[in-house]
Amino acid sequence: MFVAIRSAAAVVVVACALVSPLRAQAPDLIVTNAKVHTVDEKAPSAEAFAVTKGRITFVGTTAAAIKLKGAATKMVDAKGQAIIPGIIDAHAHLSSLASALKVVDLTGAKSLDEVLQRVAARSKATPGTGWLQGHGWDQNTWPEKIFPNKSALDAVVGDRPVVLGRVDGHALFANSRALAAAGITAATKDVAGGRIERDAKGEPTGVFVDNAMGLVYRVVPGPSPEEFRASIKDAIANANSWGLTGVHDAGVSAGEIAVYESMAKAGEYNLRNYIMIANGAKLDSMLKIGPRSDLHDGHLWVRAIKVLGDGAMGSRGAALLEPYSDDAKNRGLLIVSEDQIKAVAVKALKAGFQVNTHEIGDRGNRTALDAYEKAFAEVPTTDHRFRIEHAQILDPADIPRFAMLKVLPSMQSSHQTSDMNWVGNRLGEQRLAGAYAWRSLLKTGVIIPNGTDFPVEQVNPFITFHSAVTRQDAKNLPAGGWRAQEKMTREEALKSMTIWAAYAGFQEKDLGSISVGKRADFVILDQDLMTAPNEKLLDTRVVATYLGGRVVYEKK
């Protein structure tokens, strides 16, 4: 299953063209004079291709493509620029991006003071008593590297409730007004799979981790249907501008799916969304409907379930086999148990659904693998393609189990470069052997669908590519890369963002490569990812993004 997709192919211009049965009809679009990286092992490189009715009908040379031109054919001269298949982000949060684009942006803040300044500025610019929201703070980038206290937030905005999501979405920071609105006091108890940070007197500090966030978020007003729809359109446009034609949307509610379908029916959805249903109260009713694929002319798939297994490393919620090196009393949080994961997995297998479980710590990953193994024994299924989302910290003994169980490690390479400067403090040197272990996993025969986890990381997929092949940050540090033995090759990195991501969503026959018969999703770039120097990869920008042969983004 895995080896056929992973096998290397020489990069040569095809000598013979590949054509479609639709060849008799003149193409709607012909792209010529390009350096096309098709990610198709039968024809890994080409100069031109043709599109008819939204699908690739020819791949070959410029000379041969021009001969197909009809009276109404649109011609695009790529002028030697590189073209790759449409990028598929295999783990993202579209509605969270939509929200993040509207709230106070706290990403990159280098101190608590900078966070407070941004919040105060937004409050001044939007006067009133309504809720103020923000997203993106990360205490690991601050000098003190500790969670903040609500008193600091009260000092700058004390007259309205404020709630600020941590960059990973696994913790929030709220002021006293927000706690009062939620009815939270020192007497409020922790919830299963969550933690309320408290001071020495037991008073909530304003930081809530994992399931405890729900104590506050349950009273935060959401957007109106019209506001939500508009914000989703903005998020899709943002994704298109970075070359994304597809996402695997992790943890989507029934209400959000209904909006997506309405937009797709109205032609307002310029993205292919592989939806992972949130594991929640309405799961059983959605399982009864059954898996649905290729909806609304290939814009939506509803055939996977997202389970939230543990927390995140940055907030010390990732479930570890041994305590955190920098918090000896803490092994993190199992948000759901092995039995709960197994129960969902058995239901899913019987209903024909895939299960994708968020696990970051080594204990979390082992818990999911154990649960999956028991579910597979109870409901044998040849092609389940179950996934573990993130798979960041693995006990080396568990690395071979992914291939043995045919479970896909769905990873986000930019997490490694975001975490590398502090994760050693959390784990100690010995446990880093299984940290972001891409090469170790690939050697076992699995593939790695890659993504960004946006808005946890930036939407920019060229950060994903750069991180995968260099294991360096934006300043190209450290020299040679962090734990460089785990790097991907450029060919693997490109596949991880295209054909491997498509495979992870049962879409490889329709998406993921520039191949005859597939949907014409492709991206024109201003430089060639496969040949540009490592230090220049992050300069890559999109010239144009095409979905089904139609332009959905074009650089002005």
Six token digits for residue 367: 């818990």
Give me the percent of the chain exceeding a pLDDT of 90: 92
**Helix count and strand count (H, E) for the chain:** 20, 25
- Tens-digit pLDDT profile for residues 420-459: 999 999 999 999 999 999 999 999 999 999 999 999 999 9
- Concatenated DSSP letters of 339-397: HHHHHHHHHHHHHT-EEEEEE-SHHHHHHHHHHHHHHHHHS--TT---EEEE--B--GG
- Tens-digit pLDDT profile for residues 469-501: 999 999 999 999 999 999 999 999 999 999 999
Q: Is 326 inside any structural domain?
A: yes
Q: Is 349 inside any structural domain?
A: yes
Instruction: With beta carbons less than 8 A apart as the criterion, state whether 136 and 109 touch.
Output: yes
Please report the pLDDT score of residue 372 as a whole number. Answer: 98
**What average pLDDT does the segment 51-76 reach?**
98
CATH of the domain at 554: 2.30.40.10
Please report the pLDDT score of residue 259 as a whole number. Answer: 96
pLDDT at 234 over 90: yes
The DSSP code for 534 is G
Q: Is 252 inside any structural domain?
A: no
pLDDT at 537 over 60: yes
Q: Distance between CA atoms of 272 and 299, rounded to whole angstroms?
A: 4
Split at pLDDT 50, 70, 90, the class of 366 is very high
Six token digits for residue 414: 């930019």
Six token digits for residue 304: 């996977």
Q: Is 553 inside any structural domain?
A: yes
Q: Clarify whether residues 545 and 492 are in a common domain.
A: no
Q: Clarify whether residues 346 and 489 are in a common domain.
A: yes
Across 1-79, where does the E strand assignment appear? Answer: 18-19, 29-32, 35-37, 45-46, 48-52, 55-60, 74-77
- Tens-digit pLDDT profile for residues 112-121: 999 999 999 9
Domains: count for the chain: 3
- Tens-digit pLDDT profile for residues 307-354: 999 999 999 999 999 999 999 999 999 999 999 999 999 999 999 999
Q: Is 237 inside any structural domain?
A: no
Q: Is 432 inside any structural domain?
A: yes
Q: Clarify whether residues 394 and 471 are in a common domain.
A: yes
Domain that holds residue 397: 280-293+303-511
**What average pLDDT does the segment 381-385 reach?**
97
Q: Is 357 inside any structural domain?
A: yes
Please report the pLDDT score of residue 39 as a whole number. Answer: 98
CATH of the domain at 212: 3.10.310.70
